[in-house]
Amino acid sequence: MREETKTTHLGRHPERFAGAVSTPVFRASTILSADVAEWEQKKRDRADGKPGTYYGLSGTPSRHLLEEALAEIEGGYKCQLYPSGLAACTIPILGYVRAGDHVLVTDSVYGPTRRFCTTQLARLGVETTFYDPLIGAGIKQLMRSNTRLVFTESPGSLTFEVQDIPAIAAAAHAAGAVVMLDNTWGTPLYFKPFEHGVDVSIQATTKYIVGHSDVIMGSVTCTREAWPGLDAVTTDYGQTAAPDDCFLAARGLRSMARRLPIHWESGLRLAEWIAQQPEVEVVLHPALPGAPGHDLWKRDFRGACGLFGVVLKPMAPRARDALIDALELFGIGASWGGFESLAIPFDAASLRTATRWHYAGPCFRVHAGLEHIDDLIADMAGGFVAMRAAL
Ligand SMILES: Cc1ncc(COP(=O)(O)O)c(C=O)c1O
């Protein structure tokens, strides 16, 4: 099956739901058993990791069918859903480490994931070393006897460094460490984590899977070997995803393979247009020929989403702010992956500890939505006019 067919069909079982094409919202906390034997059997199924209906916390069909679809589309063994993308980044780490362990985390990691490492992991006696996202096979030099986990995010969702995941995974596995990837930018369609050595792959489903900016949710898909650690920690920390949210995420999934090419095409067209403006230092879009990370992107990715960064030549940040304020079609807001375009300022230098941010000019991040590309370019052109007036 091709991706468009998978996203349309997987995780649907109309025969179980009176023929309904989409699995209805299945809300439940208590789920009754007919007799004690069934009760005991359901508990055994739960312990064996089978998606049963023993208690709503471990999921109902609304959640299980979405997990089933996402695991297969991303190419892993099984999937667990979480109440946010951030929970999907942080809680699974706890399934693989204990006090006295060491983890390696990319310096380009999503800010709140970084904070979790420096606060919660540190409190538990787990040491974090942040590493250069472009380190590749050189990560071997940072592995210690107690390094249990290497956390990657490729490309970084603010600074867009593409990581050499196969090289990092080979070095991590040689030292017995688990490799986690925040694969939100790559999406389950455009980067296939398990073909590149990843053990545990995260999606902030909030972004392209939900696709409509109305649900917060995360998913974690992993290999068979990594499953016991993930399953246990998810249960122990009481992680789940609400049936109504699962319904909306499943609805988003059905159109994802058709939406993504538009985000990809529009993002690239915008990036090309922005790169031609004289005030622009560099456009951080891995799919843009000549941009940083383009060769690795070409080697490992099957496509690109609509998110990219822009570094302006040195100028007062208020000129960058004037550009963003003048945009009418790009909202100023956190998150991305919805149908709408966004633009936000960012300051990368203040987020680094292992590497230096080499650019001096102000930066902004763009999400290309589903609007017509000509309208987006015309709006961006208006932003550049406003920026020039503020110089
Ligand atoms: C790369 C990345 N990972 C994880 C998250 C967290 O997702 P959520 O907002 O659903 O907690 C985000 C959110 O912006 C993100 O950009």
For ligand 1, what atom is nearest to the CA of residue 216? Answer: 10
Specify whether 266 is located in the same domain as 317. Answer: yes
pLDDT at position 53, please?
73
Which of the listed residues 81, 114, 116, 206 should we mutate to test ligand 1's pocket, taking the one with most ligand atoms within 8 A of CB?
206
In sequence order, what are the residues at sequence separation of 6 or more whose Cβ sits closer than 8 angstroms to the Cβ of residue 386? Answer: 322, 323, 325, 326
**166 C-alpha to ligand 1 centroid (Å):** 23
Residues within a 6 A CB radius of ligand 1: 84-86, 89, 110, 157, 182, 184, 204, 206, 216, 218, 335
Q: Are 91 and 81 in contact (CB under 8 A)?
A: no
Q: Judge whether residue 94 has pLDDT over 90.
A: yes
> CATH number for the domain including 200?
3.40.640.10
Please count the structural domains in the chain: 2
Query: In angstroms, rounded to a whole number, what is the distance separating the alpha carbons of residues 351 and 111?
Result: 7
Give yes or no: residues 94 and 133 share one domain: yes
196 CA distance to ligand 1 centroid (A)? 22
**Same domain assignment for residues 58 and 156:** yes
Of 252, 271, 303, which one is at a domain's C-terminal end? 252
Q: What is the pLDDT of residues 207-256, one digit of tens each?
A: 999 999 999 999 999 999 999 999 999 999 999 999 999 999 999 999 99
Atom number, ligand 1, closest to the C-alpha of residue 334 = 14
What is the structure's pLDDT at 79?
97
314 and 342 in a single domain? The answer is yes
Task: Please state the rounded mean pLDDT for residues 52-58.
Answer: 82
- Shared domain check, 244 and 374: no
Domain boundary among 195, 221, 252: 252
User: Given 252, 273, 294, which residue is the final one in a domain?
Assistant: 252
Same domain, 119 and 189: yes
- Atom 8, ligand 1: residue with shortest CA distance: 85
Compute, in angstroms, the gap from residue 271 CA to the centroid of ligand 1. Answer: 22
State the CATH number of the domain containing residue 372.
3.90.1150.10
Q: Are residues 155 and 29 in the same domain?
A: yes
Question: Is the pLDDT at 51 greater than 70, yes or no?
Answer: no
**Which pLDDT does position 68 carry in this prediction?**
96
Substitution site in 105, 184, 366 for ligand 1 pocket (most atoms within 8 Å of beta carbon)? 184
- The pLDDT score that the predictor gives to residue 107 is 98
Residue 52 has pLDDT above 70, yes or no: no
Cβ atoms within 10 Å, residue 30: 6
**Residue 212 to residue 188: CA distance in whole angstroms:** 17
Domain ranges, residue 288: 256-390
Its sign, for the CA torsion 95, 105, 68, 27, is positive
pTM over 0.75: yes
Do 219 and 119 belong to one domain? yes
222 DSSP β-pair partners: 78, 200
Residue 241 CA to residue 19 CA, distance in Å, equals 24
Q: 320-331: per-residue pLDDT in tens?
A: 999 999 999 999
